[in-house]
C-alpha cells in the first residue's frame, strides 16, 4: 500500500457500515480507526485483548503509542529498540534507497546492509514525527458559539482555535509543536503535540526480490509473499535535540519501543494496529460517492496509468533515468490500482444506491418530528442542489482544473503568460525569458509530450454536453486517426520545442505580429479557452465550498442522532487504533483464501524472472530447512491477513498481538477491499502484513545482519534443532 496513494483519496460508508460507526459498546465487526483516547471505552477484553487499555495509550505517557511514529513521507513506523532503531515498510524507505543509488549500485535492486552503526547511510529528506500528546478540545473550540452560524460561527471557531493553539504552544516544551485540527467538517477538534527528529538513516533494506517480491502484479492481491520491511534509525544531537545529519549525532534514546513476538500469530488471533492512516471520508452524502465513482476515480486511474507508462518507456533506454523514476512509477502503479479498484468496488457493492436508501430513511425520520424538521429539514435538498450545480460539468471540470499539471513545464509557462495577459518592457521581458529558462531546466520533453496527448484524448472522450471548446475548435474537423495525428502534432509543437522555447514564451509578454501563425496562435487560443473554463470551474467549486462544511456537519449530526451513535473521526494522518482478528476471506463464490502464507508459496510463484525471482539464498536455506528460531512447522510464515481497518498511511504500522507484542508490519490491503476510504466491508476488507518471523529470518539468516536483532527485545520462537 503505497504511502502517496495514499494520501492521495475520498469516499463514504454504506448503510451497514454507518450503523457500525459507533461509540464504544456499539461497534460491530472490526471497523474503526479510533482516536487513542477512545481505546479504554471499546470493551476490548471481550474481543480478546489481554493487556490493560492504558498499556496501549496512556495520556500521562508510557503506552505503546509512544513507540509508534510517522515518517515525513506519509508512512507509519515504530521504534523497536532503545537505540532509535525503526522498523517500517520497504516501500516507505523506497525514496531513500533511490536517492542513494547510482547506475553502478542500485540499492532498490540489490538492497543495503550496514555492518555496524558507522555504516548506516542518510535517508535523504526523511524525518520522523513523534506524538507526545493528544487531547479532545472540541468543547473548548465550540465555547461561546451557541446560536452562531455562517461567517460568524466560522470566525468564532477560528478565533478560539488560534487562541488555544497559541496558549498551548507557549506552554509546550522546547522542540514540540502544537496544532489543533478540525475533523469531519467541525464535528471534532483535537489538539496534537508532536516532535520532529530530522536525522534518519538506513540500517538494512532487503533486495528487490524480497522487499518487492511479486511487484505490481501482486500489489493489493492475496496470496502474497513479500518481505516489505526496512530498518532505519533516528539520530539526534548529543543533547537529545533534533538536528540535521551530522557525524557528531548520536542514536535517539526511545522512551518506548516494541517487543517482537517470534511465536507470531495463528488463524483467529486477536490483533490490533497503531499507526497514522492517511485520509478517509466515510460520512459523505450519496452525491459525493457518485462523483468519485463516475468522474474522479476514472480520471485519476487513467491519468496515473498514463504517467507510469510514459516514465517506464523513458527509462527503458536510459539506466540513470530508470533508477531515478522507479519510485514515481511504483507510486503511480499503486495509486492506479487504488482508484481503478475503488471505482470497481463502489459499482460492485452498489454503495451509491445503498447510501441513497439510507438518506431516504433519514428523510422519513426527520419528517416524523417537528424539532427534527426544524433542524434537519432542508439538509438533504440543499446538499442535492449544491452538488447538482457543482457537478454539472464534473468530467470536464476535472480536466481543466488539473491541466497544466507538473508534467507540463513548457505548457504551464505558456498558460501562465496567456492567463496574465500583460505587457512587459523589454528589460523585464528579457528577465522573464531567463526566469522561464530556469523553470524549464531538466524537463523531460517526452514526458510532457505524452501527458499533453493524454489530456487532448481525454477532452475528445468527454460527453457531448461537456465538450471543451478549446479542444473542439482545433480538432472537431477531424476524427479517428486524423484527430489523433492533429493532437499529436499540437503536443509535439509544445513539448519538443518545434516553436516554443523560453524566448517565444517570453514574447507573449510583448507585442505580437498580426499574421496568423498556427504553431503559436492555436496554442494561445487553447490556453485562453482553458483559462476561461478553469475560472468557471473554480467558481463552481468555490460556491460549493462556501456551503458544504455547514451542510455536511448537519448531515453527520443528523445521521448520528438517528442511529444514536457517536462516530469515530475520519482518518487524517493522526495517530489511530484499530482492532481485528487474523482471518481469511471468500473473494468470490466457491473460493476461500486462508490467512497465512509460507515460503512454500514463494516457491510456487518462482519463475526466476522479475518480479517472481525468489532469492537463491532463501532457496538454499529452505532446502536445508535452516530456519533457526523463526520456523513454523517445516517452513517460515511470510505474510498474513487480518480484519483490521486501515488505509494508505498505515503502511509501516506495527500489528500487535493480544499482549501488545509486535507480530507483523502492515503493508497492504486486498483488492476486493478497495474503496475503503468510503466504507468498510467486514466480509471483504483485509489488512496484509509481513509476519515478524519472516522479517527476523531474512535479517538474520539471509542478510547475516544479526547485530541488528541483538539490540531488539525478542521473545518466543521455535527451539533451534
- The distance in angstroms from the start CA to the end CA of the chain is 37
380 vs 4, more confident:
380
Mean per-residue pLDDT of the chain = 94
Distances in whole angstroms, Cα of residue 328 to Cα of each of 68, 311, 339: 26, 8, 16
Does the pLDDT at position 1 exceed 80? no
Report which secondary-structure segment, H or E, holds 588: strand 585-588
Residue 721: pLDDT above 60?
no
At residue 12, the pLDDT reads: 29
CA distance to 590, 600, 701, per residue, from 586 (Å): 8, 21, 35
> Among 648, 695, 602, 711, which Cα is nearest to 90's?
695
The neighbour count for residue 102, using CB atoms within 10 Å, is 10
How do beta strands 230-236 and 85-88 pair?
Answer: antiparallel
Angstrom distance (rounded) from CA 452 to CA 415: 13
Of 308, 288, 489, which Cα lies nearest the Cα of 394? 288
Residue 524 has pLDDT above 60, yes or no: yes
- CA 81/CA 85 separation, integer angstroms: 5
Taking only the tens place, the pLDDT of each residue in 255-298 is: 999 999 999 999 999 999 999 999 999 999 999 999 999 999 99
Write the pLDDT tens digit of every residue in 453-469.
Answer: 999 999 999 999 999 99
Which 3-state string (H, E, C) describes 427-495?
Answer: HHHHHHHHHHHHHCCCCCHHHHHHHHHHHHHHHHCCCHHHCCHHHHHHHCCCCHHHHHHHHHHHHHHHH
- Return the pLDDT at 144: 95
Using the predicted structure, report yes or no on whether residue 33 has a pLDDT greater than 70: yes
Cell of 656: 500487535
Q: List the grid coordinates of 620.
A: 538454499
Task: Please give the pLDDT value at position 526.
Answer: 98
- The whole-angstrom separation of Cα 621 and Cα 73 is 35
Q: What are 173's three cell numbers? A: 516544551
What is the average pLDDT across 301-326? 96
Burial profile 540-571: b = 16 or more Cβ within 10 angstroms, e = fewer: beeeeeebbebbbbbbbbbbbebbebebbbbb
User: Is 695's pLDDT higher than 70?
Assistant: yes
C-alpha distances in Å from residue 53, one per residue of 273, 563, 574 = 13, 27, 19
Residue 423 exposed, middle or buried by CB count within 10 Å (0-12, 13-18, 19+):
exposed
pLDDT band at 29 (very low <50, low <70, confident <90, very high): low
Q: What is the pLDDT of residue 718?
A: 87
% the chain with pLDDT above 70: 96
Which distant-in-sequence residues (6+ apart) come within 8 Å of 136 by Cβ? 35, 37, 188, 189, 190, 191
**Distance between CA atoms of residues 470 and 354, nearest Å:** 39
The pLDDT of residue 21 is above 60: no
Length of the chain: 721
DSSP 34: B
Q: Write the secondary structure of 169-200 as one string of H (helix), E (strand) and C (coil).
A: HHHCCCCEEEEEEEEHHHCEEEEEEEEEECEE
The 10s digit of each residue's pLDDT in 478-488 is 999 999 999 99
Residue corresponding to grid cell 516457491: 603
Element (H, E) at 410: helix 409-420
Determine the Cα–Cα distance for residues 120 and 201; give it in Å rounded to an integer. Answer: 6
Q: Do residues 160 and 141 make contact, with C-beta atoms less than 8 angstroms apart?
A: yes
Residue 587 φ then ψ, to 5°: -75, -20
- Listed by start position, the domains of the chain span 391-566
Q: Who contacts 336 (Cβ-Cβ below 8 Å, separation ≥6)? A: 301, 304, 305, 308
The pLDDT tens digits of the residues spanning 599-613 come to 999 999 999 999 999
DSSP string covering 251-302, please?
E---S--PPEETT---TT-EEEEEE------TT--HHHHHHIIIIIHHHHHH
**Distance (Å, whole) CA 136 – CA 371:** 29
What are the tens digits of pLDDT across the range 537-588? 999 999 999 999 999 999 999 999 999 988 999 999 999 999 999 999 999 9
Angle at 102 between CA 100 and CA 104, to 5 degrees: 135
Question: Does the pLDDT value for residue 152 go beyond 70?
Answer: yes
pLDDT in tens, 111-151: 999 999 999 999 999 999 999 999 999 999 999 999 888 88
Cα gap 344→341, rounded to integer Å: 5
Query: Does residue 470 contact residue 383 with C-beta atoms inside 8 Å?
Result: no
Per-residue pLDDT at 449 exceeds 80: yes
State pLDDT tens for residues 61-101: 999 999 999 999 999 999 999 999 999 999 999 999 999 99
Amino acid at each position: 500500500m503505497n504511502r502517496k496513494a495514499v494520501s492521495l483519496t475520498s469516499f463514504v460508508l454504506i448503510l451497514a457500515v454507518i450503523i457500525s460507526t459507533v461509540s464504544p459498546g456499539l461497534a460491530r465487526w472490526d471497523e474503526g480507526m479510533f482516536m487513542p483516547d477512545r481505546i479504554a471505552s471499546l470493551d476490548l477484553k471481550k474481543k480478546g485483548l489481554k493487556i490493560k487499555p492504558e498499556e496501549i495509550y496512556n495520556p500521562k505517557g508510557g503506552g505503546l503509542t509512544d513507540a509508534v511514529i510517522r515518517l515525513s513521507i506519509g508512512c507509519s513506523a515504530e521504534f523497536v529498540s532503545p537505540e532509535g532503531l525503526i522498523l517500517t515498510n520497504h516501500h516507505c524507505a523506497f525514496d531513500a534507497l533511490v536517492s542513494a543509488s547510482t547506475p553502478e549500485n542500485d540499492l532498490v535492486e540489490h538492497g543495503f546492509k550496514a555492518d555496524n552503526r558507522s555504516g548506516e547511510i542518510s535517508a535523504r529528506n526523511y524525518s520522523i514525527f513523534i506524538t507526545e500528546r493528544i487531547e479532545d478540545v472540541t468543547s473548548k473550540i465550540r465555547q461561546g458559539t451557541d446560536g452562531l452560524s455562517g461567517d460568524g460561527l466560522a470566525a468564532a471557531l477560528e478565533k478560539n482555535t488560534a487562541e488555544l493553539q497559541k496558549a498551548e504552544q507557549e506552554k509546550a516544551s522546547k522542540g514540540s509543536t502544537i496544532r489543533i485540527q478540525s475533523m469531519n467538517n467541525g464535528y471534532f477538534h483535537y489538539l496534537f503535540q508532536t516532535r520532529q527528529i530530522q536525522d534518519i538513516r538506513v540500517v538494512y533494506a532487503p533486495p528487490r526480490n524480497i522487499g518487492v517480491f511479486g511487484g505490481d502484479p501482486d500489489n493489493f492481491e492475496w496470496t502474497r509473499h513479500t518481505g516489505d520491511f526496512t530498518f532505519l534509525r533516528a539520530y539526534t544531537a548529543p543533547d537529545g535535540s533534533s538536528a540535521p545529519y551530522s557525524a557528531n549525532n548520536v542514536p535517539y534514546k526511545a522512551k518506548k519501543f516494541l517487543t517482537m513476538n517470534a511465536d507470531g500469530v495463528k488463524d483467529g488471533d486477536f490483533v490490533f494496529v497503531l499507526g497514522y492512516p492517511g485520509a478517509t471520508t466515510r460520512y459523505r452524502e450519496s452525491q459525493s460517492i457518485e462523483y468519485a465513482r463516475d468522474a474522479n476515480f476514472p480520471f485519476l486511474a487513467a491519468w496515473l496509468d498514463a504517467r507510469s507508462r510514459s516514465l517506464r518507456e523513458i527509462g527503458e533506454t536510459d539506466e540513470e533515468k530508470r533508477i531515478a523514476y522507479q519510485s514515481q512509477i511504483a507510486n503511480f502503479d499503486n495509486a492506479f490500482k487504488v482508484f481503478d479498484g475503488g471505482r470497481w468496488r463502489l459499482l460492485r457493492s452498489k454503495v451509491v444506491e445503498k447510501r441513497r436508501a439510507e438518506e431516504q430513511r433519514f428523510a422519513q425520520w426527520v419528517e416524523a418530528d417537528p424539532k427534527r424538521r426544524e433542524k434537519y429539514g432542508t439538509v438533504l435538498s440543499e446538499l442535492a442542489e449544491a452538488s447538482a450545480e457543482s457537478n454539472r460539468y464534473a468530467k470536464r471540470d476535472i480536466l481543466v482544473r488539473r491541466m497544466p499539471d507538473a508534467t507540463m513545464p513548457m505548457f504551464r509557462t505558456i498558460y501562465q503568460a496567456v492567463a496574465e495577459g500583460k505587457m512587459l518592457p523589454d528589460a523585464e521581458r528579457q528577465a522573464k525569458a531567463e526566469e522561464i529558462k530556469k523553470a524549464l531546466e531538466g524537463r523531460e520533453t517526452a514526458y510532457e509530450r505524452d501527458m499533453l496527448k493524454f489530456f487532448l484524448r481525454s477532452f475528445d472522450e468527454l460527453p457531448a454536453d461537456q465538450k471543451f471548446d478549446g479542444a473542439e475548435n482545433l480538432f472537431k474537423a477531424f476524427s479517428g486517426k486524423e484527430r489523433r495525428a492533429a493532437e499529436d502534432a499540437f503536443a509535439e509543437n509544445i513539448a519538443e520545442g518545434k516553436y516554443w522555447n523560453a524566448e517565444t514564451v517570453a514574447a507573449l509578454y510583448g507585442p505580437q505580429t498580426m499574421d496568423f501563425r498556427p504553431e503559436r496562435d492555436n496554442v494561445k487560443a487553447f490556453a485562453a479557452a482553458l483559462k476561461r473554463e478553469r475560472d468557471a470551474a473554480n467558481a463552481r467549486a468555490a460556491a460549493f465550498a462556501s456551503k458544504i462544511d455547514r451542510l455536511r456537519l448537519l448531515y453527520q449530526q443528523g445521521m448520528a442522532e438517528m442511529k444514536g451513535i457517536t462516530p469515530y473521526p475520519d482518518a487524517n494522518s493522526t495517530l489511530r487504533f484499530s482492532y481485528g482478528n487474523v482471518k481469511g476471506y471468500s473473494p468470490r463464490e466457491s473460493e476461500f483464501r486462508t490467512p497465512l502464507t509460507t515460503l512454500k508459496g514463494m516457491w510456487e510463484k518462482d519463475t526466476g524472472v522479475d518480479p517472481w525471482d525468489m532469492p537463491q539464498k532463501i532457496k538454499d536455506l529452505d532446502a536445508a530447512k535452516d530456519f533457526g528460531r523463526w520456523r513454523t512447522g517445516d517452513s517460515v510464515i511470510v505474510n498474513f491477513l487480518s480484519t483490521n481497518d486501515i488505509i494508505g498511511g498505515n503502511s509501516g504500522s506495527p500489528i500487535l498481538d493480544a499482549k501488545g507484542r509486535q507480530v507483523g508490519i502492515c503493508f497492504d490491503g486486498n483488492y476486493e477491499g478497495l474503496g475503503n476510504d468510503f466504507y468498510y466491508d467486514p466480509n471483504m476488507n483485509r489488512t496484509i502484513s509481513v509476519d515478524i518471523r519472516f522479517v527476523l529470518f531474512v535479517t538474520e539468516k539471509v542478510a547475516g545482519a544479526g547485530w541488528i536483532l541483538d539490540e531488539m527485545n525478542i521473545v518466543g520462537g521455535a527451539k533451534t534443532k
